[in-house]
Structure 1
């Protein structure tokens, strides 16, 4: 198990205990109603919490997502931009998958670059891309936006990784786990696009083969959780633009309906509505 998963689990357990809830009671309050065993695995660090579940946990526990994450100054650095790793990834296995992924991606035709957006804040960068692409209504065509930024989307099947971005000789490529639900794939694409447009690759890199197996367990000196949070913020603003969400909310306040309209998970939409102060956090 990873040290990050353990610390996140400890924070979930502490928040649950403060509320006087059992693991079963917490599970019953969460969208999708995971089993008490799943809660136990999260709290023990045996399984890491996915992004959608983390958002839902924060909502139910009445916390900000950052309160469930370790202090970035205490993080062990890692090499690759991996999002929502389900369990500790075997370095050699990941190295082999990345080599196969890169080899296959190099043979694929490259998309044309249609839009260039200067990096700014996550919100401003997302808004600039939406304006450049002429997006005026939901759902946001995330695949078209990624491709229009000159990035190849290459679905891959490796259960421990939701997505990552890597710069190959032929150009940038985003890995998205094709076995995941569509809403999760869409958020992954938006998150990885955020890393690219916010220029986090000045600080992150991927290495293949033996080099990767040395770095994947944690030795890169520049890893910063702020970049992950910025990419999540970018993704939320891109997939659920504030203006569009407010307009849709004025017509229908149901989070499930809005989630379907924007093609995001109900948990992500619920958190977005709270963030935009359209609804109150559920306690």
Structure 2
């Protein structure tokens, strides 16, 4: 039986931690030990158990085998270094989320091989990358209109932004990335084989998701020359302000907004009920709709009125059916956490015997009972339409 060189193991643990931009105190908190104990692990003065090693490998987003390799494992690929290099100022929760995304993307790449499916080619970029500068609203409006024209969207509401992004060739993950006030609302990076990858912070309010996706779409379309962009709510560079402005105008086109106001026989919005109707029509959050109206000078509501409104409850009173996710009562659906292709490949790999049921459930992040339920629902025959026996 081969003995473990704990001093060499400790050195590799220290190197992996530093590459993940995490302090000993942060890692110790995740591991449930003292910083002193972690320091002893890294110096080789204290033996570390197999379970703790596995947890550290997952936290640092490195293969467990690399911690035992004399070479320290393969060097991280460029996309991982670009992504992890942007996390230095994030909270421990945010860095842990990015590490989880790295694992998910690795699994996604592996699923292509297991299912015998080639990785897709990076999509054709219809627009030249934009330089880093401030763009006035009217200019961003033109970019949004040009993008809608290119994809032949007209001015109709975009009901499924994630599906649109994935149809274009980007892959969207929903990953917990910490408090959006301290960390990020989403991110974008380019994978050398998979192409553009987007992550939305699933710790944020569910209703904010469409706007974040529109924001990341701006990066996919106009900043595809950059290896990675982490989208923070504070200290925004021009590219982030552009993405915010683009998302608002792409999801709620000026022409469509004015047409909808005419249909409602409204010149200016003067009550929260009207904001709710518009937000539900365009599929954006109440706050996003309010700010869009302010940009167009189409509301008399003051900025402070939002504190006295409960948009989800108000929407329900107006006859809409908000999801349980909007109330914060349920986790995001699996289809919002993973790309559709990822889910399909996991099912295919399991169905063809390339991976076990347990492994398929693990890569999907669900229990094997939930996996069986999902497959059973997909395989269930369609019900025949009910016969109407009303009065003749």
TM-score by length of 2: 0.41
Cα distance, 1:277–1:92 mapped onto 2, change above 3 Å: closer
1:35-76 deviation per Cα after TM superposition (whole angstroms, max 9, x unaligned)? xxxxxxxxxxxxxxxxxxxxxxxxxxxxxxxxxxxxxxxxxx
Q: CA separation in 1, counterparts of 2:125 and 2:164?
A: 9
Match for residue 147 of structure 2 among 110, 121, 129: 129
Q: CA separation in 1, counterparts of 2:297 and 2:253?
A: 14
> Larger radius of gyration, structure 1 or 2?
2
Q: Say which structure, 1 or 2, has more relative contact order (CA 8 Å, 6+ apart).
A: 1
Match of 2:287 in 1: 267
Does residue 1:163 correspond to 2:163, yes or no?
no
- The Cα of 1:198 is off from its aligned counterpart by 2.0
Q: CA separation in 1, counterparts of 2:178 and 2:207?
A: 16
- Matching of residues 203-222 of structure 1 within 5 Å: 205=228
Match for residue 172 of structure 2 among 153, 163, 169: 153
- The Cα of 1:132 is off from its aligned counterpart by 1.8
Match of 1:96 in 2: 99
SS class of match (1:162): strand
1:92-111 deviation per Cα after TM superposition (whole angstroms, max 9, x unaligned)? 53553242133134346648
Match for residue 280 of structure 1 among 272, 275, 300: 300
- Matching of residues 195-210 of structure 1 within 5 Å: 195-199=219-223, 201-202=225-226, 205=228
Q: CA separation in 1, counterparts of 2:206 and 2:94?
A: 27
Does residue 1:187 correspond to 2:198, yes or no?
no
Q: CA separation in 2, counterparts of 1:127 and 1:81?
A: 33
The question of whether the paired residues in 2 share the 8 Å contact of 1:153 and 1:175 is answered with: yes
Match for residue 117 of structure 1 among 115, 127, 150: 127
1:228-279 deviation per Cα after TM superposition (whole angstroms, max 9, x unaligned)? 1111001101111111111111122411100000111111111111101222
1:162-187 deviation per Cα after TM superposition (whole angstroms, max 9, x unaligned)? 32111112211111234654431111
Match of 1:80 in 2: 86
Match of 1:246 in 2: 258
Unaligned runs of 5+ in 1: 1-77, 208-222
- The Cα of 1:117 is off from its aligned counterpart by 3.2
Does residue 1:177 correspond to 2:201, yes or no?
yes
1:169-210 deviation per Cα after TM superposition (whole angstroms, max 9, x unaligned)? 2211111234654431111111111122221653x6379xxx
SS class of match (1:243): helix
Pairwise CA RMSD: 3.5
- Matching of residues 31-70 of structure 1 within 5 Å: none
Cα distance, 1:153–1:81 mapped onto 2, change above 3 Å: farther
Dislocated runs of 4+, deviation >6 Å: none
Cα distance, 1:144–1:271 mapped onto 2, change above 3 Å: same
Cα distance, 1:236–1:89 mapped onto 2, change above 3 Å: farther
SS class of match (1:138): coil
Q: CA separation in 2, counterparts of 1:124 and 1:227?
A: 16
Q: CA separation in 2, counterparts of 1:157 and 1:198?
A: 26
Q: CA separation in 2, counterparts of 1:111 and 1:238?
A: 26
- The Cα of 1:224 is off from its aligned counterpart by 5.8
Q: CA separation in 1, counterparts of 2:210 and 2:159?
A: 10
The answer to which of 243-252 and 143-152 deviates more is 143-152
Unaligned runs of 5+ in 2: 1-83, 113-118, 131-138, 267-273, 304-392
- The Cα of 1:157 is off from its aligned counterpart by 3.6
- The Cα of 1:116 is off from its aligned counterpart by 2.1
The question of whether the paired residues in 2 share the 8 Å contact of 1:80 and 1:164 is answered with: no
